[in-house]
Every structure is written in C-alpha cells, then in structure tokens.
Amino acid sequence: MIGGGRGAFIGGVHRIAAIMDGQAELVAGAFSSDPERSRASGADLHLEAGRVYGSYAEMAEQEAAQPADRRLDFVVIVTPNHQHFGPAKAFLEAGFHVICDKPVTFDLAQARKLKAIVARTGKLFVLTHNYTGNAMVKQAREFVRAGRLGTLRKVVVEYPQGWLADAIEQTGQKQAAWRTDPKRSGAAGCMGDIGTHAENLARYITGLEIAELCADLTTFVKGRALDDDGNVLLRFTGGAKGVLHASQICVGDENNLNIRVYGTKAALEWYQEHPNELIVKYPDQPRQVWRRGNGYDGAAAQRATRIPAGHPEGYLEAFGNIYREAFRGIRAVLDGQKLPKDLDVPTIDDGVEGMAFIEAVVRSSARGARWVTLKR
Amino acid sequence: MIGGGRGAFIGGVHRIAAIMDGQAELVAGAFSSDPERSRASGADLHLEAGRVYGSYAEMAEQEAAQPADRRLDFVVIVTPNHQHFGPAKAFLEAGFHVICDKPVTFDLAQARKLKAIVARTGKLFVLTHNYTGNAMVKQAREFVRAGRLGTLRKVVVEYPQGWLADAIEQTGQKQAAWRTDPKRSGAAGCMGDIGTHAENLARYITGLEIAELCADLTTFVKGRALDDDGNVLLRFTGGAKGVLHASQICVGDENNLNIRVYGTKAALEWYQEHPNELIVKYPDQPRQVWRRGNGYDGAAAQRATRIPAGHPEGYLEAFGNIYREAFRGIRAVLDGQKLPKDLDVPTIDDGVEGMAFIEAVVRSSARGARWVTLKR
Amino acid sequence: MIGGGRGAFIGGVHRIAAIMDGQAELVAGAFSSDPERSRASGADLHLEAGRVYGSYAEMAEQEAAQPADRRLDFVVIVTPNHQHFGPAKAFLEAGFHVICDKPVTFDLAQARKLKAIVARTGKLFVLTHNYTGNAMVKQAREFVRAGRLGTLRKVVVEYPQGWLADAIEQTGQKQAAWRTDPKRSGAAGCMGDIGTHAENLARYITGLEIAELCADLTTFVKGRALDDDGNVLLRFTGGAKGVLHASQICVGDENNLNIRVYGTKAALEWYQEHPNELIVKYPDQPRQVWRRGNGYDGAAAQRATRIPAGHPEGYLEAFGNIYREAFRGIRAVLDGQKLPKDLDVPTIDDGVEGMAFIEAVVRSSARGARWVTLKR
Amino acid sequence: MIGGGRGAFIGGVHRIAAIMDGQAELVAGAFSSDPERSRASGADLHLEAGRVYGSYAEMAEQEAAQPADRRLDFVVIVTPNHQHFGPAKAFLEAGFHVICDKPVTFDLAQARKLKAIVARTGKLFVLTHNYTGNAMVKQAREFVRAGRLGTLRKVVVEYPQGWLADAIEQTGQKQAAWRTDPKRSGAAGCMGDIGTHAENLARYITGLEIAELCADLTTFVKGRALDDDGNVLLRFTGGAKGVLHASQICVGDENNLNIRVYGTKAALEWYQEHPNELIVKYPDQPRQVWRRGNGYDGAAAQRATRIPAGHPEGYLEAFGNIYREAFRGIRAVLDGQKLPKDLDVPTIDDGVEGMAFIEAVVRSSARGARWVTLKR
C-alpha cells in the first residue's frame, strides 16, 4: 500500500475492503512520504519492519526483488491525487498490478500517459470508483442494457456533501487540507473529489457519453483556491440531457450521491445512502422497489452480494466488491489465463474519462460557464 | 368563474378550494367559450341558468349590473393561458376582485399591462401559485426570514412530471392539447406550466432574485412544438447559485415538485408529495423533521393549518389556503379597510416575475443555452 | 348538525368534508347542549337564527315540520359518545337520514337498540369511520377480495398517538376532557376513541372477523379513569392471527394509524400519515408502491379520488369520500330508488361490531388480560 | 471455528466480521460433524490441513496442545443450537475464550450449566447478538440511560421475516431444515431464531426486565413442528408494557427487526434495515434523526463506527463491532489485565435471559396463551 498512513481516511477503507473476503493480506507499504511516519504506520498495522518503506520508489525497487513466494500480487495507491501517477508508473513498470484511488491522476495529460503505460505493461490497473461496486447499481446498469428503460432521455445525478462548508482546511484537518490545495488535488476541488464519482456513476449505469457540458463552479468559502460547489448541464451523445451537481458546502448533507435515469419506458432512482434499494418507475404501472439479495435480482447484482436480503450491506461491502472483482482478474492472470471478458472493474479508461470531465468543467467555468466539448 | 367547464381539471380544484371553508359560493360563470358547453357545465353545477354566460365579456357586463345583494365579490379565471388577460382586464375594470390561475398571462408584455391595470383599478389580484399555500412552505420561508439558515448559498428546485412522455395531445387529451400548443400556452410548454411554479416556490421561500440564468430546454416528444423538459442554472443577486429543472417526460414521476435550500448555518428540504413535513439539516446537529399542525410550528404555518398534526393535509388544502387568504383581503376591502399589510397571497408582481422567467429561459435556450439576464 | 360548536374539533372536519364537493349545505343545527353556545356557533356559521336550536329534540321536532323545499336531507351527529344515541334515535324516527361520528354509541346495548331503530325506520345510517374513505384503503380491500394475497395469515394494526401523554384533561382541554371521562366516553378511553378505528380498518380491508382477543389495557397517566393505552392479541375466525395496539401516550406520534396484512401470496402495508401510497410485498418479486390517482388503480380507488396522482389528498378528502358515498345513497332514496347494492359506507353493523370490540377488550383486560370471545 | 462449513450462512458472516479490522486470522476449524465436509471446507478457506478437524472434541484436544506462538486466542461456535453447549464447554475448559452464536444453547437448563462453566473457567464468553453492535442502537441505549426519554412506558419490538412462508425445509434448504427441526433448534422455531434477537435488542436498549408475558405462537406452514410466528404481550418490572412479535411467514418482509421505545419525555425508533439512523420524537419539538458518524453522536456510537457519516455501514460492520469489542476484552486478558469494566458485549447472562424468554413463550403458548412469569 502506498499512502494511507496515520490520519488518512481512505487507506483504512481500502484495507478493510481488500481483506474482508479473506483473499488478501497487507504485507508491505510506503504509508507516507515522511519515512518516520511511514514506519510508525507500518508498526500500527503489524507489518514486518523490513517491508515498510520511506518512499514508493524504494518500495518498488525492493519489492520487485522479492522471491516468488513473498512477491506482492498487487499494489494499492491511496495517496492524494498528485501522487498517483508516480507510484502507478513505478509499480506497473516493476511488474505489479495496481489498484488506485480516484481521480486517477493530477491532470488529463498524466492520465493519458498512464493509459499508455498500462497498455504497454499489460498489467491490470483498477480505479476504485467504489460506488459502482454496489449491487443495486449493477442492477441499474443491467436494466439499461436490457433496454428496459427504452431510449434514455434524462439523467440527474447529484453529489451533495456539507463537510467543507467552513474553512476547516485552515484548522489542520488533513483530509480537507489536501483536497482544497491545487498543488495536491489538481485543477478542481469538489468536482475532482466527488464530481468525478457522479460522472462515473452516471456513465457506468447509462453507458452514455457526455458530448458537451456547461459548468458553473463556485468557491463559496473565503480563502479557498478550488471550487467547493458546481452545477453542470450535460448533453449526451445521442440527444439525452442531464444535470450533474456536486457540492461540499451543502450543510447537513453527508454523502448523498444519488442518480435518476429517465427513459421512454421506465425510470430508475438510486440513493447511495440507502444502497440496498433500487426504485423503478413506470408510466402506467406501480413503482417497484428492487432490493439487494433477492432471487429476482439479476446475475450482476447477485454476484455483488455477500449476505441475504434485509441484512444491509453498505459502503465497505461495495468497496470490497471492487476488490473482489479485481482479485478475480489478478487470479486469472496468476493462473496464466487472460482477463475475464466480463471483468467488471473501473479501468484506466474510466480514469481518462474522469480527468477529461474535470478538465472540461474547469474550462467551461473559467469561460463564464459556456458550453464546451470534452477532450478525450 | 371563467373557464373550468366539462373536461377541465383545474376548474374543479378551484371550486373545492374556494368553498371548502364555507366562505364562498359559486353563483355565476362563463365556463367555456362555447356557449352550449358553458350552459351544460353551469347546469352540472346547479347554477341559476341566467347567470351562466357564453362569454366572459357578456358576464362582466351583466354581472356588473347586478344589484348589491346579488353582486359577485370576486371572479376566478381558470382558462388556458392565452385567455387570462382578457377576462382579467374586463373584470378588474368592471370593479371585481380577480383570482387567476398561473402563469398570469400569455406573455411578459401582457403581464406588464395587467400590472398597470391592477394598479389603476385598485382591485385585489391574486395569482394561484398554490404550492406556496402549504403550511410547511410558509414555515420554510419563516426560517429563511429569521436568518436561521444564515446566508443562502445554493438552491435546488425540481419539478419532474411524466404525464407528457408520449404525444397524448394527439389523442384528444384536452389538458395536454392546450399546454403543448404555443397559441394557447405561450412561448414555453413545461417551463410555463410547471417551471414557473418551481421559480415561484424558490422565490417565495428564499426571497432571492434570479440575476441571470442559463436554460437548456428540450422537446423530447416528436411533433411537439414547445419544450417538455428544461434544465436551468441560476445565479441569484448576491451570489447564491441554483439549479432548477422541470420536466413532463420523467416517466413515473407524478407531481414531484421539491426544493432544497442551503445556507451557511442550516439547510431545508421540502417535497410537495409529502407536504406535511419540512426537513431541516444542520452541520453539527441531528436533522429535524418539522411537521404541520404542531405547537412548535411558527405563526404562518399554524394559520395555514386546518386539522391537527398527523391528519395529513394535501394539495386541496394548500390551494384552499390561497383562497382563504384572498378572502381575508377581500373581506377587509368589503369592510372598508385597507388590505392587511401581511396579506400573504401571490400577486401580479409574482405574475410578472414568472413571465420574465419564462421569457428568459426561452431566450437563453434559443441562443444555445447561453447566460441571459432577466428583463423585469 | 348536532354538536360541533365552538371549541369542537370534529364538527369542523365534518363541515368541510360535507361541503367540499358542492353537494351539501349546512342549514340548521343544535351545536351545543348550552343554548347560548349553540346560538353563537350558529351565528359563526352564518346560519339563519331560526334554524339554530338549543337541543336536538327541539331541532328534530321543528325541522320535521319544515316544508318540503326547506327540508333537511340528512342530519350529522358529532357530539361526544354518550350523546349519539339520543339524537340518532330522534332524527331517524323523525324521518331523517343520519350521519354519525364513531364510536356509534355509549355502549353495546345502545348500539343494538340503534340497529333495531335503523332497521325499523329504513333510513340510511352512516358511521364516519373516515379512514376507510381513503382511496388506497379501498385498493387494499380490493386486493384482498380479489385473492391477490392468498389466504390471510397475519394482521398487524397500530394506532399510536401521543397527545394524551400528560393529564391535559385537567387543564381545560375540551377534547381531552370528554374522551377521558367515563360518563361521556363510555367504558374505554383510547380503545374506544381510536382502537375502534384500528379494528374497523382491519375488518374493512381484510373482511376477517375477530373470534377472540386478549387485551392488556393500561392507564399510564395518573388520575385518569380510562385506558390510555392498549395491546391486544387477536385470533380471527378461520385461523389468522393479529396484533392490534393503540395508544394516546406514545409521545411524538401524531396520528400514526397503520396496517399490515400478510397472506400466503402477498402482503400489504398502508400508513395513514402517507395515505396516497399502498405498499405491496411479494415473496419473490420486487415490492410495489401503488399510488393514488393512477390508471392502474382499481375502480374503487379511482372513485375515491378527486385529483391527479402526485397531488396529495389527505384526511379531509378521505372524510369527504364517506360523505360523497353517503350522498350517493341519499340521492338514490330521494330519487325513489333503492340504495345502491355496492354502497360503500360504514353502517350500523360496523357500529355494533365496534362496540362489541370495546366491550370485549374492556372485559378481557378487567380479567387480567385473558382471552375472551366477542359478544355480537 | 466450529461449524460454518460449506452451505452454511452464518459461518461466512462470522469470518468477515472477525477479520475485517485486521485483528484476527482464521487458523483452525472443525467445520462440520462430517470429517470429509470439514476438510473440504478447510481447504476452501486455505487452512493448513493439520488444523482442520473432524470434530470439535478432537480440535479442542489438539489445539490445547499447540505451542504458545501457534495457540488460538479464541474459538468461534457457529453450529446449530443443539451443538453449542458441547463445544462451548470443551473449549472453555480447554482454556480458550469462546464467541458463540445465539441462542446460546438448546434449552434453559444447558444455558444455566454453561453459565456455571463460564464462571468457573474465568474465560470470556461472548454471544453474538449482533444487532446490538449497531452504532445507533448504542446511541439509543445511551439516550435511555441518560434519562432523556424519562420513565419508559411502552416498547414495541418487531421482527418479521418472510423466508419460511412455505415449507422450504422440505426442499433441502439447509438453513430452513435445522431451524424448523426441534431436535436441532430447541423448543421454539421463530421465537428462538429471531424472537430472541428482538428480546435482546429491547433489553439492551431499555434495560427493562420482562416480568411476565403472554405468547400466542402459531405454526402456519403445514407439516412444520415448531412455531413460525409469534405475538407476545409483555409486562416489564416497574410497569412498562410491551408488544413483541416475530414471524417467518410475513411474505415480502426480509429482515425487518425494529423497535420503538416510548418514555414520558421522548420516544425512539430504530429500524435494522436502515441502521444508520435513529429517530427521536418529542411531545413538543420537531422530530430528530440522529445519524451514525456525526460529531454529535455519543461516545458509544462513535466507538462503534468505522467510516464517516453518509457512508452507510450495515449488518457486517455491526457484527464486526461485537468482535472488535470482544477482541478488546481478549487483548486485555492477554495483556494480563482485567476485563474492561465497560466491555460492551453480549454475555452468558444475555444467553440465559434469552433461553428463559424462549422457555416462557413456549410455556405460555402451550397453555393457550396465558400469562406466565419468566424463570430465571
């Protein structure tokens, strides 16, 4: 694991998600760019001292030299955005599969470069757009793919949070500090951190491609350099329209990612805070509530399920599903097979698309919220 | 009553709303521009045949000549949009108070003219933006006014419906026919019919003025002349931002008007389909659910309440609240007093604002969804 | 109208419910047993002074003598329970149809007598178990009748309120005073006031007959003479089981009547505080949410609907549906026809059943909560 | 681990719950009484073949002989009820801490014996009443303990499931087979399996003791030997009343455990299927929704939380909380300290209480649903 030392949030999430099915074990890490801190974190996690490193470069070099029976199967990158590309490149080139937090890189150019590296090395690169790991999100995608919604017309995707409504980055809150810092987060704040989740979720479910967008980004909190709120109009290839808005200043909202998709025949609603349900609406039939863990759910949703209906799964299980599917891929490669064709993980392509989205919303907003096309 | 004959929807709603408190009685009407149909409708409603008219002009003339003890106190206009201005002018000038359905006129120019007529005649003109009649909407306004939300930052207001997802106007559905006809509805379809409700609700609660907007209107149903969907970015005077979207092609949605208002200190949520509740969110306190009919509710919400908590009130009661408050005004005038200063009814000013909104969204969209300022 | 003077609650509800469809007008009343108060109330309601009476007996006598064109079509009784029987008898015998609030009488013996009087006079007697007026309650009944639930196994019906959690009857609260007074309310407090609504709702939807019950009634508030809480186990004829609990000490609950019915094939849920929805659950299919005002709803639900889907109807509209259906019956009789066979109003039989329920729960509880059979 | 082999449900849950925080590792097991099956299951789980046993007795003996650095810290028992006592006794006496699924034993006599063994051996015995591991359940308990609800008056606790609505035990469904078999499940079916969870949840939150109860148990499915539904009236020491009902024939219900607690000052509601929220109701204030992961939550809820607000935790995390707290105790003992005084795990006392509850409901029901007191 790269990053995820003391005081980090997402590192702990990745660790639970990775081990929950008993398929993986944490054995090495460079948990911080501060070697002292890295060592302390490694000790917290009961790692062998010799496999705790002061830098990812050191780790890549030394772990590549491990004998086969001690060799890492994959590396997880959970650093701030500006430190994704370096370790990803290093480990891919050192022959390791990589699981990386989102957004994939600091900027679009890096993402494109990384795409080339992934292609060249032939290693598996998995981007943890964890919300697509939810069983009912997979069910939603299956509905769209099966044509059950008819032709898609409108998508509304929201991601309001409230935790950055005040300038907590100035009070030493580590999570807030790097996310609001353009040197570490990239060109966007809110839009990079969670806007990309919304973009990814919409694309995962609908398969629609954003043709052009008009983004009005705002920085509400004084002294902050990056956007903490954004409202975006979307036009998809093929004629569907959309609204995407995300915010970190919506006080009282916690992590309210949600999506509504309207087609000519039916519509879907899914709420991340109530992830075990998928609402389906029809023009001329009662609404349906599809629930995780039932025999009537489709194959994709059933595979992404650990426990029976009514026993709520949550954020960690969805995150774990990304890992579980990544492991399926890694195991296939270890077994000398090709990657399963139906492997259902977010890839470097999702990463590039996300960075193109960030680049476009920032560009649109900088021009006064004019329509721009995405550069892919 | 002008309009509201056989086959109409909103006429029946107005009749229930007007009489439910036992304060008004229907005694005369021109229910259709087809005299035969008007007469039949009058008979359905058990009216004296002599007070059922074939045209509003005839009615205005003859009713103005009624003796004092038979004289109408007010007239209700429930015709399609293109037939609001004529009767409103006629009855105001004939000395009657007028209660009129929304949007106020066919276009902005008419609205401005009507404003002048209202001013000149000194009669009460009430526009039935009925959703503002809900008790918990009034509570929401009271919160904002009391500063409980702090400085407002973001408003999200939605009005998705699904009933026009197919071209039912071509099958003889009367409600659909006039709403999709530019000659009767005006320059906008969905945005005029329900977008204005969303605009009005947001303004009523927040008191914010839209400075500029960017509207992407769409006509999804083939052969339809007016928009049946619209996504609008809002910038309010003072720096708040907003999203307004309305649709008539959101299959499975019924009448899902809702609003979220975020301030620096707290946030509000209200859903028209669950009107008896108002959700209040705080950055650092548990969420609250304020419910109609409780002693803790503010004065405005309590006045807009007929029955105890837990006994749900709905659309008709909210509509009736507009009437009840209008009657308070009319009664004051009848009693020779001035209009109460705190009279809480939508006025011709709301009508002008709504028409300015329609004009702006149509103009913006016609330019490819560019930012425009409102012409007031 | 008998009762319903100043300070009353349910009188006002009946007036709105009766007039909302423009089919009835209030023309006479004995609003209080205090003639002064009755007169004042009549004046509030703009009644002709000559038709406001100091007692129901006086009113029955004089109104019976009115000429045909001024004759009352029906009388509404909204007094406390101990004053139902007297006026009901008087007006039925004077030839008037009667609409009466619930529970039907002071005790079971009176209810049986009244049943005989109704039978003898041949007049329509309608008991306002208003919750059965809800469209989605009618839909629920239709599902059961159509066998859609299979064989019924279990019924859970709840009616928690919190307004009597303190001894507000000692502070002059009029509604509380009579409901907690055995001389006016009868043998039961909570169980008579709202337990009977729960019993009636369960019977209306399921058609099941309570064979025996075991009731544990409690008076939680010191100094109160009647039960303010009760938990009841039910055994229905045919083998279904049930739980009924009602309370007036459930702080924070408003008027939370709700019911769940489980059959071998499907189950239903309905919540009075969200009356426009009916939840249907299946063992092997997604849940459904049936909503009022849709084309897919059954005939009974559609008839009990005034406005389109998504425009919430509430307590008053459901109450108005009882009146509307009663008027259909009265109109038929006035037109010299028989009562419609499908007339869907609560009758004196429902009243007797409710009183038998009250008698049984009180008897069971008095014996230490032992099983008792109902005396019908 | 004892039990939990191929085809089991709860074994997998325990494994995830135990390892999710990286504090435990599965190293040995007797996964089935069929040695072949046990071996196969051990292989599935990548265990060392030498530590997979054909019986718990063999395992207890051999594992007790392991050297200190390979010694088990604790044993988990996830067999059907009739096989709890044997291994619990064996491992406690062999010096291991034990974590055991519920209900604790086959009958009350065994539970009492086990209590004595626990006392004698001084080992930690933790019963996995997992629902009490939920953060908001802990918050609920904290409210009650802090007197925030005032004096408790009424408790309603429900546990409806629908999965046994048909005789699936006759189709080879393993979970159903043992739960409906009196030889393996004990004297109760539904009441033992889930009624005890309801009883335990109510006791955990309220601290109230059931003084007497009246239980009407039913077997709805033909050919089944044990109850599949039960309705129970409760009287608590001190005067509070309650209703507890549980069922496995409530079609369409999944795992709908929920509880409402009413005091003189406030009331609580918690729903297992939406575990991240706790609803608090007041007589004279807006309702509150307390949500997991917020700074305003109490210390107990905060300790039982892994990820931030709005990132839903579920069943597995709650289960994991039981383990995490058990590990805190085990670690203290390993470190030579006493058990923490505030150790918050279900104990053998909870197990005895649960068995006393089962014994009482069966006894009451056998007598025709008469009131009985609990034998403790």
Is the CB of B267 less than 8 angstroms away from the CB of A162?
yes
Token pair 């109408």: residue: B72
Q: Read off the DSSP letter of residue B171.
A: G
d(CA D71, CA D48): 14
Is the CB of A153 less than 8 angstroms away from the CB of B249?
yes
Using the predicted structure, report yes or no on whether residue A165 has a pLDDT greater than 90: yes
Chain B interface includes A250 (CB < 8 A)? yes
Q: Is the pTM of this model over 0.90?
A: yes
Distance of CA B300 to the CA centre of its chain: 19
- Which pair of tokens denotes residue C228? 């303010």
Using the predicted structure, report yes or no on whether residue A33 has a pLDDT greater than 90: no
Segment A303-347, tens digit of pLDDT: 999 999 999 999 999 999 999 999 999 999 999 999 999 999 999
Q: What is the pLDDT of residue D9?
A: 86
How sure is the predictor about C6, in pLDDT bands with cuts at 50, 70 and 90? confident
Show the beta-strand stretches assigned E in chain B: 74-77, 97-100, 125-127, 152-160, 210-218, 229-236, 241-247, 258-263, 267-271, 277-281, 287-291, 372-373
Out of D284, D290, D296, closest to residue B296 by CB: D284
Is the CB of A272 less than 8 angstroms away from the CB of D312?
yes
Is the CB of A313 less than 8 angstroms away from the CB of D315?
yes
Percent of chain C exceeding pLDDT 70 equals 100
> A184-187: long-range contacts at Cβ-Cβ below 8 A with a sequence spacing of 24 or more?
A184/A80, A184/A81, A184/A82, A184/A83, A185/A80, A185/A81, A185/A82, A185/A226, A186/A81, A186/A82, A186/A103, A186/A105, A186/A106, A186/A107, A186/A358, A187/A107, A187/A226, A187/A358, A187/A359, A187/A362
- Which pair of tokens denotes residue A134? 């939810």
The average pLDDT across A226-236 equals: 98
Q: Read off the DSSP letter of residue A100.
A: E
Half-sphere exposure in the Cβ direction for D6 (13 Å, CA): 11
Is the CB of B12 less than 8 angstroms away from the CB of C306?
yes
Tell me the chain B residues in contact with residue C307 when contact means C-beta distances shorter than 8 Å.
Answer: 13, 315-316
Segment D90-128, tens digit of pLDDT: 999 999 999 999 999 999 999 999 999 999 999 999 999
**Average of per-residue pLDDT values in chain A:** 97
- Which pair of tokens denotes residue A253? 């909202």
Beta partners for D141?
Answer: none
Our CA-based measurement puts residue D139 at a distance from the nearest CA of chain B, in whole angstroms, of 12
Percent of chain D exceeding pLDDT 90 equals 98
CB B10 within 8 A of CB B84: no
Radius of gyration from C-alpha coordinates of chain B: 20
Chains with 3+ CB–CB pairs under 8 A to A are B, C, D
Q: What is the pLDDT of residue D229?
A: 98
Out of C285, C288, C296, closest to residue A296 by CB: C285
Q: Read off the DSSP letter of residue B226.
A: S
Q: In what order do the strands lie in the sheet with C125-127?
A: C74-77, C97-100, C125-127
Chain B interface includes A312 (CB < 8 A)? no
3-state secondary structure of C208: coil
Q: Read off the DSSP letter of residue B218.
A: E
Using the predicted structure, report yes or no on whether residue B179 has a pLDDT greater than 90: yes
Q: How far separated are the first and last CA of chain D, in Å rounded?
A: 30
d(CA D366, CA D360): 10
Using the predicted structure, report yes or no on whether residue A280 has a pLDDT greater than 90: yes
CB A281 within 8 A of CB A261: no
Q: How far separated are the first and last CA of chain B, in Å rounded?
A: 30
Phi and psi, residue B172, nearest 5°: 90, 5
Is the CB of D288 less than 8 angstroms away from the CB of B286?
yes
Q: Read off the DSSP letter of residue B193.
A: I
Our CA-based measurement puts residue C186 at a distance from the nearest CA of chain D, in whole angstroms, of 23
Closest CA to B227 of B109, B79, B106, B362: B362
Please count the other Cβ atoms lying within 10 Å of the Cβ belonging to residue D331. Answer: 13
Tell me the pairing of strands C287-291 and A241-247.
unpaired
CB B263 within 8 A of CB B162: no
Using the predicted structure, report yes or no on whether residue D259 has a pLDDT greater than 90: yes
The average pLDDT across B173-182 equals: 94
Q: ipTM for the complex?
A: 0.96
The average pLDDT across B30-37 equals: 93
Segment B76-118, tens digit of pLDDT: 999 999 999 999 999 999 999 999 999 999 999 999 999 999 9
CB pairs under 8 A between B and D: 32
Show the beta-strand stretches assigned E in chain C: 74-77, 97-100, 125-127, 152-160, 210-218, 229-236, 241-247, 258-263, 267-271, 277-281, 287-291, 372-373
d(CA C172, CA C169): 6
Segment C313-365, tens digit of pLDDT: 999 999 999 999 999 999 999 999 999 999 999 999 999 999 999 999 999 99
Using the predicted structure, report yes or no on whether residue D272 has a pLDDT greater than 90: yes
Q: What is the pLDDT of residue A248?
A: 98
CB D104 within 8 A of CB D87: no
Q: What is the pLDDT of residue A365?
A: 98
Please count the other Cβ atoms lying within 10 Å of the Cβ belonging to residue A10. Answer: 20
Half-sphere exposure in the Cβ direction for C1 (13 Å, CA): 29
- Which pair of tokens denotes residue B96? 């009657």
Using the predicted structure, report yes or no on whether residue C301 has a pLDDT greater than 90: yes
